[in-house]
Structure 1
Amino acid sequence: MEKKLFIDALKEGQQVDDLFLVKSVRLAETRAGKPYLQLVFADRSGDIGGPAWDNAEALEKICIPGKVVRVSGAVQIYRDKLQLRVDHIEAADQANLKMENYLAASSRNPASMESELDQRLSEIADPFLSKLLHKIFHQTEVGERFQHAPAAKGIHHAYRGGLLEHSLSMARVASLLAGHYQTVEKDLVIAGALLHDIGKTVELQSEVGVIDYTDIGRLKGHVVIGSEFLASVAAEIEDFPKELLVHLQHLVLSHHGRQEFGSPVVPMTAEALLLSFIDDMDAKMSLVDQLSTKLKADGPTWSDYQRSLERYILLKPTLDGSDHAETKAEDDGPGSTRQHTLF
């Protein structure tokens, strides 16, 4: 069976019989004590949740996260969101699947992003920052994983290549804003943009489209992991300035902006303040972009309530559809100041 229907095209009332990746599965009980499965299915275009009310325990053996299954059911609205009411699930032959249909990935070309990263590294004038960045991104396993890692488990840039896309987006904005404020060291804030989430290469693991936390990721978190990693790499560079390392670590440790948001310290330098604002902005605007690309209406439309933003958003369709960001990326080139994902 070939996959023909993608999640971003589903509409209320539509009957579905197609292949989807199992993203998550949870065995639950109704108030009457009857077991059912709460499922989330995914493909390259997005994900959709839904219940399987019958044969829950038998279906649980088929619905393994990371496996593709054949699902039949109906699309319905539940709490202002589309969900798939499952009527039947059966195992699919995993051998002949085109996995690119099921794995979400950055819309940007990987080679284009790698080229832009190298361009950013070449622009760093500080010799120690330059050595550190080149060593991390070209001589470590973490740097290799950075190219393909997701930036989050959900909400923003939660797909293959999302971490690099997010970090490059932040570096672009950092380059623009650093030149506007005289108190900001441009090299330092750009380095912070590229390194602030480096710990996510260890905090998160992505296997067959399923993103989850590692044990060390849950126990330490990416800000601590990233800070420790910077110290270990800097220790391998002769005469690396201790003060510079402390400022870099402060950027990583404080980039969430507030302690209640997961930072052990709040930003206390000009670069750290700016970086935390850019990170927050890029994450939120990426979410708005994702919602906008999924619009089916021709004009402005209100989104569902966005819990992460604590508000509804009035969305406008993107100019050129889902490929708009990548087209601009290719046209502008790595040295351009045009921002791909925010504006």
Structure 2
Amino acid sequence: MRKIKYIDSLQEGERIEDIFLVKSSRLAETRAGKAYLLLDLTDKSGEIGGPVWDNAEEIAEICRTGCFIRLKGQVQSYRDKLQLRIEDVAAVAKEDISLTDFVPATNLDLEEMSRQIQKTVASVDNSWVRKLLNRFFKKGDIWEKFQTAPAAKGIHHAYAGGLMEHCLSMAKVADMLAAHYPGVDRSILLAGVLLHDIGKIMELKEQVGLVDYTSPGRLKGHLVMGSEMVAQEAAKINDFPEELLLQIQHLILSHHGRLEFGSPAVPMTPEAFVLSFIDDLDSKMNLIEQLRRKRKDKGVQWTEYQRSLERFLFLGPLDEQEAGQEKNDAVQQHIQKTLF
């Protein structure tokens, strides 16, 4: 059973009967005390919300987070934003749908990115750093999870394969900057690039098409968890230099750049400075890329106000070559295999 139309192509006024994934649902009451249900629905293209006014408590049993539903209704505008006027809801078994309709994934080739990551590791001159990186990026559970993990729950690279895409993009920029600035140690910088978000494979969980935080992820955060993971793997390498481990852990713990952004330490080494700027740049450019993907008009136009960037943006759409709409089979197979 396939979706008919994705959320990003819905138009005001059209009637729909289609399948959606419930991202969240919340029962509330009107001032008169009548129950109604607020739904947030999603597919791989975006999100849309809408209220259910009739039989809200009964329908809430069907519309639990992570459930699939078929609904009838109409697209309408409310406060300059599209929402659904929901008229009828029915449960859909997840075995009857194609999960790839609901899980966003990288547009890049997964196998090629994997090869590029391993090629980058092999290019590291410092043998200690290379040994450490090989414990993460050669074989094993961490490597398997890393290749298809999202880089975030939202904002940037928040899709299957996003973490590897983010790290590989950063590695290309880091390689260029390490050659440009003589005070930057390329081996240490690349270690920071590849490991800075490694804790996210433990911080985030992907279940039934939705990304959420694990309990350890909420309690510790990926910076602390990543630093711990690196220490654990370094301990398995005989005589791994203590000062080198400290520098790599510092890169992970400081890469958000500022204390108010969640870093327990601010960058205090040349590599840490460069890493924090590359991470911030790549995150913002991916956010801009996702906004450009959603542009339908050919001309350059202003976006809505972007809270995370604290500004409007003047953007045109991606062309077909930039957009790279074809998803690779490896990502799709992983989605079906691991999330069902």
- TM-score when normalising by structure 1: 0.90
- From the superposition, tell whether residues 237 and 204 of structure 1 become closer, same or farther in structure 2 (CA, over 3 Å): same
Q: Deviations over 1:105-125 (max 9, x none)?
A: 111121121111111111111
| Structure-2 residue corresponding to 1:161 | 161
Between 180-189 and 46-55, report the one with greater CA deviation: 46-55
Q: Deviations over 1:192-228 (max 9, x none)?
A: 1111000011111010111111111111111000001
| Structure-2 residue corresponding to 1:279 | 279
| Structure-1 residue corresponding to 2:289 | 289
For 2:66 and 2:92, how far apart are their aligned partners in 1? 12
Counterpart amino acid of residue 103 in structure 1: V
Q: Deviations over 1:80-101 (max 9, x none)?
A: 4332232221112332312111
| Structure-1 residue corresponding to 2:337 | none
For 1:252 and 1:86, how far apart are their aligned partners in 2? 46
1:151 aligns with 2:151: yes
Gap regions ≥5 residues in structure 1 = 328-343
Between 279-288 and 87-96, report the one with greater CA deviation: 87-96
Q: How does 1:123-138 map to 2 (within 5 A)?
A: 123-138=123-138
For 2:322 and 2:4, how far apart are their aligned partners in 1? 18
Q: Deviations over 1:52-80 (max 9, x none)?
A: 23322112111122222102222233344
Paired residue secondary structure (1:172): helix
For 1:131 and 1:285, how far apart are their aligned partners in 2? 31
Following superposition, the deviation at residue 160 of structure 1 comes to 1.1
Between 82-91 and 225-234, report the one with greater CA deviation: 82-91
| Structure-1 residue corresponding to 2:314 | 314
C-alpha contact 2:106 2:159 (8 A) present in aligned 1: yes
For 2:315 and 2:81, how far apart are their aligned partners in 1? 16
| Structure-2 residue corresponding to 1:337 | none
For 2:16 and 2:51, how far apart are their aligned partners in 1? 14
Between 317-326 and 261-270, report the one with greater CA deviation: 317-326
Counterpart amino acid of residue 187 in structure 1: S
| Structure-2 residue corresponding to 1:338 | none
Counterpart amino acid of residue 112 in structure 1: E
For 1:61 and 1:192, how far apart are their aligned partners in 2? 46
Q: Deviations over 1:1-47 (max 9, x none)?
A: 53210112112222221111112222233344433222221222222
- From the superposition, tell whether residues 94 and 273 of structure 1 become closer, same or farther in structure 2 (CA, over 3 Å): same
Following superposition, the deviation at residue 322 of structure 1 comes to 6.5
Counterpart amino acid of residue 24 in structure 1: S
1:109 aligns with 2:74: no
C-alpha contact 1:109 1:326 (8 A) present in aligned 2: no
- From the superposition, tell whether residues 284 and 33 of structure 1 become closer, same or farther in structure 2 (CA, over 3 Å): farther
Counterpart amino acid of residue 132 in structure 2: L
Paired residue secondary structure (1:256): coil
- TM-score when normalising by structure 2: 0.91
For 2:2 and 2:128, how far apart are their aligned partners in 1? 52
1:34 aligns with 2:34: yes
Q: Deviations over 1:124-158 (max 9, x none)?
A: 11101111111112244222211111111111111
Counterpart amino acid of residue 263 in structure 2: S
- From the superposition, tell whether residues 228 and 42 of structure 1 become closer, same or farther in structure 2 (CA, over 3 Å): same
Counterpart amino acid of residue 246 in structure 1: L
C-alpha contact 1:70 1:89 (8 A) present in aligned 2: yes
Paired residue secondary structure (2:125): coil
| Structure-1 residue corresponding to 2:17 | 17
For 2:325 and 2:98, how far apart are their aligned partners in 1? 25
- From the superposition, tell whether residues 75 and 322 of structure 1 become closer, same or farther in structure 2 (CA, over 3 Å): farther
| Structure-1 residue corresponding to 2:330 | none
C-alpha contact 1:65 1:210 (8 A) present in aligned 2: no
| Structure-1 residue corresponding to 2:305 | 305
- CA RMSD, 1 decimal: 1.8
Following superposition, the deviation at residue 304 of structure 1 comes to 1.4
C-alpha contact 1:81 1:304 (8 A) present in aligned 2: no
Q: How does 1:162-311 map to 2 (within 5 A)?
A: 162-311=162-311
